[in-house]
Amino acid sequence: MSADAAPPMVEAIGLTKTFAIPAATLFGRARPVAAAVDVSFRIPRGRTFGLVGESGSGKSTVAKLLLKLEAPSAGRLLVEGQDIFAQTPAEELAYRRKVQAVFQDPYGALSPRMRADRIVTEPLRAHGMDRREAEARAPELLRLVGLPPDSARKYPHEFSGGQRQRLAIARALSVDPALLVLDEPVSALDVSVRAQVLTLLREMQQRLDLTYLFIGHDLAVVRYLSDTVGVMYFGRLVELGPARRVLRRPAHPYTRRLVALAAGDAPLGAVRLQGELPNPLAPPSGCLFRTRCPYADATCAARLPEMRLAEPDHLVACHHHEAVAAGAKAETGPMLQEA
């Protein structure tokens, strides 16, 4: 197969995940809540796909599906062309090596009573390698992520926050994965350390030809690492395209608000859009963002906008994307507020 014909590392096709909310909380009737709806994207090998959106928009649900921690309610998720929810046990075992994750809180993710050499080689042992052989790999893994050789005998509390995240990265890399799910990997770190860990992630990607799904709140961080960005709102992708273009010239009013907030130097965690996410049990008709959108009109109430091309490679789900991209309405109006 030629390089051009090779399938992308990841391809999500109409991925949907609904959770049943227990009957007791709903006057006796169990009802499904959609955490991710009709999500489609591709990640070419060696590239980074960044997912952004408010808390609860469905980003982690997409990550959990890719990690096979959840199964989809509908749609497909292909990795190198293979449906990861139609694998034989042997394929699944190989897949669980191929995909690894790094989460926000390295301290919570590292066993406090394990030494670093065991921590970073734990996945090798989980995949059947003998303990001695696995731990013999520790110095090389620690060196790979820029930790000094004497780190091997230390415990997690003896490391700084940035070093602990390096440990978590070394552990993820130990089994030679092709794909990393990075769920807010630098959000808990001091600003001064963030850049170093991001640089490390970038170096590792280039050196090891890794593909990343990167979830982040900080748009500057997402832009730094991502080739393509997807913006999620209420379980749906509302904008998708090259990271620089989407974050410089957004075509969806929701992305515009996120970008305007970030430009105001306000950390996204501390500031939010005015108005709440819609009630999942009673979503608005038509466009889900219309209840918070300055561009909303009768069309938006009548019809859910489909994803369509705003420019080549740049998709947006908004009836008024041309007016939005042209900046027809002020971005720093009363919709912005301190949380």
Ligand X SMILES: Nc1ncnc2c1ncn2[C@@H]1O[C@H](COP(=O)(O)OP(=O)(O)OP(=O)(O)O)[C@@H](O)[C@H]1O
- What are the residues binding ligand X (CB under 6 A)? 19, 33, 35, 53, 55-61, 280
Nearer to ligand X (CB atom), residue 177 or residue 216: 216
Query: Residue 150 CB, nearest distance to ligand X (Å)?
Result: 36
Nearer to ligand X (CB atom), residue 55 or residue 206: 55
Nearer to ligand X (CB atom), residue 133 or residue 276: 276
Nearer to ligand X (CB atom), residue 57 or residue 151: 57
Residue count of the chain, please give it.
339
Query: Residue 316 CB, nearest distance to ligand X (Å)?
Result: 19
d(Cα 274, Cα 259) in Å, to the nearest integer? 15
Query: For residue 82, which of 8, 2, 162, 182 has the smallest C-alpha distance?
Result: 8
Nearer to ligand X (CB atom), residue 63 or residue 200: 63
Query: Residue 310 CB, nearest distance to ligand X (Å)?
Result: 23
Query: For residue 49, which of 203, 232, 189 has the smallest C-alpha distance?
Result: 232
Give the H/E segment covering residue 324. Answer: helix 321-325
Amino acid residing at 307 = M
Query: Residue 214 CB, nearest distance to ligand X (Å)?
Result: 13
Residues 6+ apart with CB under 8 A from 55: none
Query: For residue 205, which of 177, 232, 233, 186 has the smallest C-alpha distance?
Result: 177
Per 3-state DSSP, the chain is made up of helix, strand and coil in percentages (nearest 5) of: 40, 25, 40
Nearer to ligand X (CB atom), residue 103 or residue 224: 103
Contact 280, 33 (CB under 8 A): yes
Nearer to ligand X (CB atom), residue 65 or residue 142: 65
d(Cα 46, Cα 4) in Å, to the nearest integer? 14
Query: Residue 104 CB, nearest distance to ligand X (Å)?
Result: 9
Query: Residue 135 CB, nearest distance to ligand X (Å)?
Result: 34
255-258, Cβ contacts within 8 angstroms, sequence gap of 24 or more: 255/231, 256/324, 256/331, 257/331, 257/335, 257/336, 258/52, 258/53, 258/219, 258/231
Query: Residue 299 CB, nearest distance to ligand X (Å)?
Result: 27
